[in-house]
């Protein structure tokens, strides 16, 4: 049966398994005919540890997202990965994801990593989640190491409160000048908590960088705190604002509703949204609001047939 299906259809079918690694592995063992199709999805996302394994090198051109985070070894960043961390080995890499990493503990690898990332001109997306830095310039060095980044996601990035004199971290050369010249983001997502001063500092920096004139999509996910401060940094270039409406209903930052190109606000609470319509939103400036609401499922009574 599989042999009669065209490759285009097989690629479409396997594409629906893209987030299920175990299913992809099982599918790859079904028959040799499926193996080349499955590989294109199986190696789209790789942990940086895979770069240390020579047998993985033939499959690196299939990788689009590189994950740097907890793996099987305590020292997740080692010099063994850097020979393959280059555009020739990873020609289709577009996304870098760093999760759960204390970046201070890898000071000896900072310069090699910055130099390697500087060559990835096709990487446009960077995601930092639960990453620990020493100070703002430390964060700027990692972000600015990617020359063409246009999308940035920050989730609970923090500082480790130790004396700067106690540890020396490598910074990108001329970081003060570089941080004013880039990045030029079009998409930004910030999730911060009350203890995450780092996110606030990054938002303030980005607002005075070229991002302040180029940002199109601003996202503040559910559960994030300090939305007023984040919103105060950015202006009318934002076209898509994704923010919990309940955060805006209490004390809405009125300046955002004067942004001339605002397109959508996403949330799931009807009552709060109506109050926002009545007291805060100026219809002359707002083009469209898209409201996402999930209706709870209702189990049928026992006397009704299923």
Mean pLDDT, range 223-233, rounded to an integer: 83
Both 38 and 75 in a single domain?
no
Both 61 and 138 in a single domain?
yes
Cα–Cα distance measured from residue 60 to residue 70, given in angstroms and rounded to the nearest whole number: 20
Cα–Cα distance measured from residue 39 to residue 62, given in angstroms and rounded to the nearest whole number: 8
Query: How many independent structural domains does the chain possess?
Result: 2
Angle between helix 197-207 and helix 136-144 axes, rounded to 10 deg: 60
Both 66 and 150 in a single domain?
yes
pLDDT in tens, 152-163: 999 999 998 765
Classify residue 17 as left (phi > 0), alpha (psi -120 to 50) or beta. Answer: alpha
pTM above 0.85, yes or no: no
User: What angle (nearest 5°) sits at the alpha carbon of residue 209, between those of residues 203 and 214?
Assistant: 90
Is 294 within a domain? no
User: What one-character DSSP code corresponds to residue 299?
Assistant: P
Find the length of the chain: 306
Is 252 within a domain? no
Both 121 and 166 in a single domain?
yes
* Residue 9 structural domain: 1-42
Is 148 within a domain? yes
Both 168 and 81 in a single domain?
yes
Tell me what percent of the chain is helix, strand and coil, each rounded to the nearest 5. Answer: 40, 15, 50
pLDDT in tens, 1-39: 666 777 778 777 777 776 677 887 788 788 777 888 888
Is 269 within a domain? no
Is 277 within a domain? no
pLDDT in tens, 134-148: 889 999 999 999 999
Cα–Cα distance measured from residue 278 to residue 274, given in angstroms and rounded to the nearest whole number: 6
Is 299 within a domain? no
pLDDT at 1: 60
Both 88 and 149 in a single domain?
yes
Both 6 and 96 in a single domain?
no
């Amino acid at each position: 049966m599989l042999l009669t299906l065209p490759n285009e259809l097989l690629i479409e079918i396997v594409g629906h398994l893209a987030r299920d690694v175990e299913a992809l592995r099982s599918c790859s063992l079904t028959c040799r005919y499926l193996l080349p199709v499955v590989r294109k999805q199986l190696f789209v996302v790789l942990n940086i540890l895979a770069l240390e394994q020579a047998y993985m090198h033939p499959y690196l051109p299939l990788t689009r997202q590189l994950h740097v985070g907890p793996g099987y070894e305590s020292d997740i960043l080692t010099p063994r990965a850097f020979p393959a961390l280059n555009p020739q080995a990873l020609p289709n890499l577009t996304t870098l994801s760093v999760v759960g990493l204390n970046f201070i503990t890898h000071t000896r690898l900072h310069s090699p990593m910055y130099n390697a990332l500087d060559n990835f001109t096709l990487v446009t997306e960077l995601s930092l989640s639960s990453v620990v830095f020493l100070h703002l310039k430390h964060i700027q060095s990692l972000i600015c190491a990617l020359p063409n980044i246009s999308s940035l996601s920050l989730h609970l990035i923090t500082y480790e409160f130790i004396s700067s004199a106690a540890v020396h971290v490598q910074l990108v050369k001329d970081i003060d000048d570089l941080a004013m010249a880039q990045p030029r983001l079009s998409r930004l997502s910030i999730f911060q908590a009350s203890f995450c001063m780092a996110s606030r500092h990054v938002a303030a920096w980005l607002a005075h960088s070229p991002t302040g004139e180029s940002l199109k999509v601003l996202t503040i996910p559910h559960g994030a705190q300090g939305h007023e401060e984040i919103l105060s940094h950015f202006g009318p270039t934002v076209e898509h604002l994704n923010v919990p409406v309940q955060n805006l209903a209490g004390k809405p930052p009125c300046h955002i509703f004067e942004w001339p190109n605002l397109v959508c606000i996403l949330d799931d609470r009807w009552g709060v949204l109506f109050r926002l319509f009545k007291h805060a939103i100026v219809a002359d400036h707002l083009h469209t609001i898209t409201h996402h609401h999930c209706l709870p499922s209702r189990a049928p009574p026992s006397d009704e047939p299923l």
